[in-house]
């Protein structure tokens, strides 16, 4: 399903931080993980991913470092910082509230107990 660009705008940074919460990842890996874990709903174009990562980095929410892979190739890994973790938790609460609210609005109170986590 193709999601409207404007709807995705606020969601993608949250999704990236959520993925990075588990472990550090490099760019291409992030693209595939976001797509995989969202069942293909969130598909990041590379032209979207890197500006997003640089923005998060400039805010101190993620940090990067070059590491060498087993095959000797260089990869730039991104990992969530403490500040990023705090932001993720705050944003996640807001997201839960939003999902509940939207759930009530669209499907009724019972089903709205489901949340994104």
Partner 1 sequence: MSGAIDRRLHAPEAPLPGALSELTDRVVRKTRLWASERRDLHAELESHFREGLIELAQEGHGFEDSVDILRDGFGDPILAARLIRRGKKRGRPMFWKVLMSALSVSIIALAAGGGYAAYLALGAPTPSVDYVAKINEPVQAIPESERAWPLLRDILLEFRPSAEVGPNVEARMPGPGDAEWPDAVQWVASNRHLVPRIVEAAARPTHGFVYSNPESIEWLRSLHRVRGKSEEEIAAMGLGAPEDPLVPPTVVIVLPQLSELRSLGRFLVLDARERLSQGDFYAAWESLDAAHRLGAQLFGSPTLIEQLVGRALLDLSTADMRRALYTVRDTLTPDQMRIVNRGHVMTIPLDTIKPSFEGEKLFFEDIVQYLFTDDGAGNGRLIPGQLAKIAWVLADGGAPDSPASDEFSGEAALFATAAVHADRRETVEKYYEVWDRMQELLALPLYDARRADAGRIIDSELGSEVGARRFALIRKVIPNLTWADEAIRTARMDQIATRAIVAMLQFRAVNGRWPDRLAELVPDRLWEVPKDSYSGLNLRYVVRADGTPVLYSVGRNLIDEVGSTAAIPAQHPGDRESTADIVYWPAR
58 vs 117, beta carbon nearer partner 1: 58
How many whole angstroms separate alpha carbon 66 and alpha carbon 6? Answer: 32
- Please report how close the Cβ of residue 84 comes to partner 1 at its closest, in angstroms: 14
Least Å from the CB of residue 36 to partner 1: 12
Nearest by Cα to 9 from 42, 57, 39: 42
Closer Cβ to partner 1, 13 or 18, answer by number: 13
Binding site for partner 1 (CB under 8 A): 26-29, 32, 45-48, 50-55, 57-59, 66, 71-76
Q: CA torsion 89→42→30→78, rounded to 10°?
A: -40
Quote the crossing angle between the two packed helices 46-58 and 11-22, to the nearest 10°: 80
Q: Using the minimum distance from each CB to partner 1, give the nearer residue, 65 or 111.
A: 65
Contact between 48 and 55 under an 8 Å Cβ cutoff? The reply is: no
Q: How far is the CB of 107 from partner 1 (least distance, A)?
A: 34
């Amino acid at each position: 399903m193709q999601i409207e660009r404007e709807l995705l705008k606020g969601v993608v940074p949250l999704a990236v931080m959520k993925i990075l919460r588990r472990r550090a990842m490099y760019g291409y890996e992030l693209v595939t993980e976001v797509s995989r874990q969202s069942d293909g709903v969130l598909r990041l174009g590379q032209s979207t991913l890197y500006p997003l990562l640089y923005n998060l980095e400039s805010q101190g929410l993620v940090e990067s470092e070059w590491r060498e892979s087993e095959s000797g190739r260089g990869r730039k890994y991104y990992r969530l910082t403490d500040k990023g973790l705090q932001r993720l938790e705050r944003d996640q609460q807001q997201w839960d509230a939003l999902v509940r609210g939207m759930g009530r609005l669209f499907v009724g109170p019972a089903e709205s107990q489901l949340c994104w986590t």
